[in-house]
Structure 1
Amino acid sequence: MNKSYKKIIALVFLFTSFFSCEDLTEVNTNPNGLQPDVVNPNLVLPTVLTEAAKLYVNLGYQDIAGVVQHTQKDAWSSGHNDYDWGGNQSWGAYYDILRNNQLVYERSVAMNMEFQQGVSLVMRAFMFGLITDLWGDAPYTTALKGELGKTEDILPAFDSQETIYTGILADLEKANTLLSKSKAEYSGIVDNVDVYYGGDPTKWRKMANSLALRYYMRISAKKADVAKAGIEKIVGNAAQYPIITVNTEDATMGFPGTSDGTAWPANAVFDVSGSNYRRIKMAGTLVESLQSLKDPRLAVWANKVEIPLVVDATLPAGTDKIEGGKRYLSPDKVGATVIDTDPEYVGLPTAFSALPSAYNLNPTPGQTSFNPHVSFLNDIYKAASGPLLRARLISAAEVNFILAEAALKGWNAGDAKARYEAGVRASLNTWGVGGTANTYLANAGVAYEGTIKQVIEQKWIASWTAATESWFDFRRTGFPALKAGPAAKRQALPVRFYYMQDELNINKANTSAALDKLEVTNFSQADGKNSAWSKPWLIQGTGKPW
């Protein structure tokens, strides 16, 4: 993870294929901007922001969406549905972003560009947060010092999760101070370089403090006093610690959609066969939850079943016919096969079979399946770009749910009911169905019950396409009460990523020391310590999630 700055400079120009910032040449007054010791940070920042957002949405829309049962795949499904991840989940791309980000920070300090300093600290916290959340202990203190040439920098030790979270919160505190001025007081801001907030320091400051709420709640089971004090400090000092409160302040990034690399993932524009879009289905767990709550977001996220199944005992034996847009079956044609005859929405069950494309009597099972009896994702997800196709790094919905949970813990975080309802409203607004909020909040199961379980379950729904946060919530709370499917690699959900083989081989001593600190569980089995079912510090001793 410690490479030459030459790679950083090669990556500098990646952003030009993602967002066109034609006026940057006017801002970069350095004619030799390719050199890391003189480069303008505005040239590197777009790469940091775009690559971080793309990594995050790919987690939350792909395999982690499978873990938390937002989606399932009907082909190429073993990783997504069954957690068959193997042992080579690389964090290389994460550290690539952090190296670029370190250059942004160093050059911003040298050029006294406080806005860029603050932004880079927020992104450092975000990226290191992802690394430790996903893997556990990881290189942190000496992770970005390979250029110094010392062995301990080239082969860095792994810092504890506790150390990393402490550092993350310190960076966010510093960012809050750096970003506390009006825009006019900063130098060197180029609005369209900032693909999240258009150069708005106030919104970046709110993102910093909202991320701090996320990480305080993350460590709440292990360091309750620290978490309580941190959250109460932020909530009790709104002027000093502003936070994201409405969905127009969400930290998001849209997709230009001008190439495969700048488009919404798994779109059917650059994947002309549409196979990647076609394979991703709504999970039955989420569909059934949304149906039970009469949730208006279901129609935004999924299409109705093209051809519903109808089993009719009055039909002659052997009947299997399509008529009037429905497939009619006599009971003998179904036999003991489990099917879903919902006339509107049908989700794919969790890891139910090694051949998920065969579900619901699909007439075309296999890799090229087109199952007319299971709901496809909404057609908006075929597109390369669109108003709802955004990477969402942190949102008003998440912030309000965090504060609702804090209030239910008895912390001074506002009124739990008001926070919960604000979280629901923010999510509904995000997906264009805010007008249904009053009706939805009165529905059975949605109307406020005053339980952390209900808060986390609504937060799980609201994390659609950003499902990584729901995985981390599940680990520490056990909610929603998700169960692994019969074909899953283990009969429990995983709790971390594997350390990759290259790290085990090249940085063996330090990786082994980190492995020794993992807690082997009954589900670790043949994987041993380096298992997706071995518990990192964050959940050791908590009894969660299983």
Structure 2
Amino acid sequence: MKKFNIKFITVLLGMLLAFGACHDLDDLNINPNNPDPEITDLNLLMPTIIINLGQGIVNLGIGDIAGVMQHTQKTGWSSGHNDYDWNNPGQSWGGFYDILRNADEFYNKAVEKELEFHQGVGLILKAYTFGMIADLWGEAPFSEALKAEQGPDFYKPVFDSQQDIYHGILAYLEEANTLLSKNSSEYTNINSTQDVLYEGDVSKWRKFANSLALRYYMRLQAKEPSVAQEGISKITGDPAKYPVITLAADEANVAYPGSSPGTSWPINMVFNIDPLGEYMRRKPCATLVEALQALNDPRLGVWAEKVEIPLVLVPGTGVDRIVDGKREISKDVEEAFLAKWEGEDNLYVDYDQEYVGIPVQTFSAQAYNLTPNYTQQAAYNPHVSQLNEMYKETSGALLQMRLLSAAEVNFILAEAALYSWAPGSPETYYDNGIKESFNAWDVADQFDDYIDGAGYNGLESIIQQKWIASWTAAAESWFDYRRTGLPDLQTGPSARREKLPLRFYYNINEDLSTNTANAEAAVARLEPTQYKGSDQTNNSAWSKFWLLQGTAKPY
């Protein structure tokens, strides 16, 4: 976790977070009420870019992707989160391109002023953001993106192949490593206060660049194994030239100032006091809860609250009463409740006395486990675990924008070592991945007891622990699932399809209607699967883009 001047950043963010006003790639209008990045001081752009990117990653990680990866389920207004109801009009990438416009302006200013630190930072931020677009949608504007000011030839940019985007961002990161390889004293115009990620620490930005490169080389593992092997071996074979993040102290995290709605943890109940609001709608998913319970994982207590009133099954008939803080019910009461939900033969009552999660994609999500007021969406349920109370707050030590963790890097190294692409033992990296996740979530003192029951057991164990460690950053575990099929997550009865989705839909109101020819060409190159269902074109969350085509993964 990085420390910075909270008072300064609070004031600064109040001015700068307005930069990201959404508009199409064609839109050249400038809002006179917002600062123009072209005339804004280079350093003043940095916190805006970092914060907007971090917020985007958190919104994915606790949003619909947390539902896909079965970290959470919603008990109200849940169809997108629980059931993948995404197709109309699709998901917008406008926010990411807003970030890229600022990042590109930042980079170009740095080149103009010959500021190598800022050039390196700009390339990392562009690589990260373009990478997310390619990860989520597939083909997208890249080589001709961000050039509309050069004239009409670039108003409707081509969609580059996903392969070219990945190779392009890896080239960005290689250049960033070179730019950031000098001694700190050789760089100028670094303002540590405005670098809300690393406080101007050049060495940490360099580790971020190379760790991000590891992420994207491993992304190519199933599709271009020789490229992945060469890149990972290059980085891991020369740690002096390519340092990476291996310790939680170096993670790419940004804290929330928490002084306004725009600078606060997004589901807090300070600025949004609605008892049916975003915090109350989200519950831990039974898939994650039960996996953590099987491992006796202390992170469960950090992320979730124990049930307020546990359920107890007792003998007799017609029994439904509160005794000593527990709700006692008889078997006939249980059966009457379950009978309300036709078509859910696997639905059950969870009598766990500590933690209870919502089963994945159940029609009874808002009523699950005998919710007293089960007709009200997002109503409080004393028989199901809530998210930890800290998630009601605007800020806190563990409320971070987690861009890239030491745990993730160690798990990448574990997988690479398993394939003999990196020196060292996969078990050692695996243990280190868990240890650094424990460090990040402040349960480091429980690692020794934990690891005896969660030992290394090949790729499945690596990906399972990486999935657990991606809490609040669930997009990365989705990307791992797509290329490996792990964890072996199954859908529930209310899911829109029988399998997990693979990508985001291109948005009807953006390029499908404004850059039609290029967008339709990209859609035509998608490969539909048997789970496309009612989607009328290949623009489906169940179509495979280049990265998955021919790999037989994840299905």
Q: TM-score, normalized by length of structure 2? A: 0.91
Matches within 5 A, 1:298-313: 298-313=300-315
- Taking the aligned partners of 2:35 and 2:400, their CA distance within structure 1 comes to 31
2:469 aligned residue: 462
2:439 is the counterpart of 1:429:
yes
Q: Is there any run of 5+ residues in structure 2 with no aligned partner, and where?
A: 1-10, 18-33, 339-347
Deviation at 1:17, TM superposition (A): 4.4
Whether the 8 Å CA contact 2:505–2:539 is kept in 1: the answer is: yes
* Residue 416 (str. 1) matches residue 418 (str. 2): no
Residues 35 and 308 (structure 1 numbering): CA distance in 2 closer, same or farther, change over 3 Å? closer
Q: Of the candidates 284, 288, 294, which is equivalent to residue 282 of structure 1?
A: 284
**What letter corresponds to residue 324 of structure 1 in structure 2?**
D
How do residues 75-474 of structure 1 correspond to structure 2 at under 5 angstroms? 75-86=76-87, 87-151=89-153, 153-274=154-275, 275-313=277-315, 316-335=316-335, 337=338, 338-353=348-363, 355-365=364-374, 366-443=376-453, 446-449=454-457, 451-474=458-481
**How many angstroms apart in 2 are the aligned matches of 1:371 and 1:37?**
51
Partner of 1:491: 498
1:478 aligns with 2:476: no
Q: 1:254 to 1:288 in 2, by over 3 A?
A: same
2:497·2:533 contact (CA, 8 Å) conserved in 1?
no
What's 2:545 paired with? Answer: 536
AA at the equivalent of 2:505 = Y
Distance in 1, matches of 2:138 and 2:471, equals 24
Partner residue of 1:25? none
Structure 1 stretch 56-65 or stretch 334-343: which is displaced more?
334-343
* 1:88 Cα deviation from its structure 2 partner: 2.4
Give the stretch that moved more between structures: 334-343 or 282-291: 334-343
Match of 1:501 in 2: 508
Helix, strand or coil: the match of 2:283? strand
The Cα of 1:181 is off from its aligned counterpart by 1.6
Deviation at 1:258, TM superposition (A): 0.5
Change (3 A) 1:477 1:35: closer
Residues 368 and 136 (structure 1), Cα distance of their counterparts in 2 relative to 1, 3 Å cut:
closer
RMSD: 1.4
Q: Distance in 2 between matches of 1:34 and 1:331?
A: 64
Deviations 1:94-132 (A, max 9, x none): 000000011001111111111111001000000000000
User: Are the equivalent residues in 1 in contact too, given 2:366–2:378 (CA < 8 A)?
Assistant: no
Report deviation, 1:368.
4.6
**What secondary structure does 1:335 align onto?**
helix
In structure 2, distance between residues paired with 1:413 and 1:520:
39
Query: In 2, Cα distance between the equivalents of 1:140 and 1:77?
Result: 33
Check whether the contact 1:98–1:127 (CA below 8 A) recurs between aligned residues.
yes
The answer to whether the Cα contact below 8 Å between 2:37 and 2:45 also exists between their aligned partners in 1 is: no
**Equivalents in 2 of 1:394, 1:412: separation in Å?**
20
Distance in 2 separating the partners of 1:351 and 1:175: 43
Higher share of residues assigned helix: 1
Whether contact under 8 Å (1:65, 1:467) holds in the other structure is: yes
SS in 2 for 1:538: coil
Q: Which runs of 4+ in 1 moved over 2 A?
A: 13-19, 33-40
- The AA in structure 1 aligned to 2:397 is P
Give the Å deviation of 1:150. 2.5
How has the CA–CA distance of structure 1 residues 512 and 360 changed in structure 2, closer, same or farther, with 3 Å as cutoff?
same
Deviation string, structure 1 residues 144-163 (Cα, Å, up to 9, x no partner): 10111133x11011000100
Q: Tell me the CA shift for residue 344 of structure 1.
A: 0.3
Q: Which residue does 1:516 correspond to in 2?
A: 524
Note the 1:25-40 alignment, pairs <5 A: 39-40=40-41
What one-letter code is carried by the residue in structure 2 that aligns with 1:68?
M
- Deviation, 1:412, is 2.6
Q: Judging changes above 3 Å, is the alpha-carbon distance between structure 1 residues 392 and 36 closer, same or farther for their aligned structure 2 residues?
A: closer
Segment of structure 1 superposing worse, 514-523 or 86-95: 86-95
CA distance in 2, matches of 1:154, 1:76: 37
How many angstroms apart in 2 are the aligned matches of 1:35 and 1:534?
A: 39
Residue 254 of structure 2 aligns to a residue whose secondary structure is strand
| Whole-angstrom distance in 2 between the partners of 1:540 and 1:141 | 23
Name the CA distance, whole Å, in 1 between partners of 2:230 and 2:243. 16
Contact (CA 8 Å) 2:223, 2:547: kept in 1 or not? yes
Aligned to 1:30: none
Deviations 1:498-539 (A, max 9, x none): 000121111110001101110011111221301000011101
Aligned length: 514
Q: After TM superposition, give the deviation of residue 182 of structure 1 in Å.
A: 2.2
Whether contact under 8 Å (1:322, 1:328) holds in the other structure is yes
Tell me the residue number matched to 1:545. Answer: 554
Q: TM-score, normalised by structure 1?
A: 0.92
- Give the distance between the partners of 2:76 and 2:70, measured in 1 at CA: 16
Residue 15 of structure 1 corresponds to which residue in structure 2? 13
398-407 or 328-337, larger mean C-alpha shift = 328-337
* CA distance, structure 1, for counterparts of residue 367 and residue 450 of structure 2: 35
Quick one: which amino acid aligns to residue 507 of structure 1?
N
Structure 1 distance, partners of 2:513, 2:295, is: 49
Give 1:14 shift: 7.6
Q: Deviation of residue 85 (structure 1)?
A: 1.1
Residue type at the aligned position of 1:200: D
Tell me, in whole angstroms, the C-alpha distance in 2 between the residues paired with 1:368 and 1:35: 41
Question: Which ranges in structure 1 are unaligned for 5 or more consecutive residues?
Answer: 1-12, 20-32
Query: In the aligned structure 2, how far is the partner of 1:537 from the partner of 1:38?
Result: 39
1:138/1:160 contact within 8 Å kept = yes
SS at match of 2:504: coil
CA deviation vs aligned residue, 1:182-239 (integer Å, no higher than 9, x gap): 2221111001111111111100000000000000000111110110010011011000
Tell me which amino acid in the other structure corresponds to 1:215: Y
Q: Give the match's secondary structure for 1:90.
A: coil
Distance 2:41 2:184 in 1: 19
Q: Report if the CA contact (8 A) 1:17-1:262 is conserved.
A: no
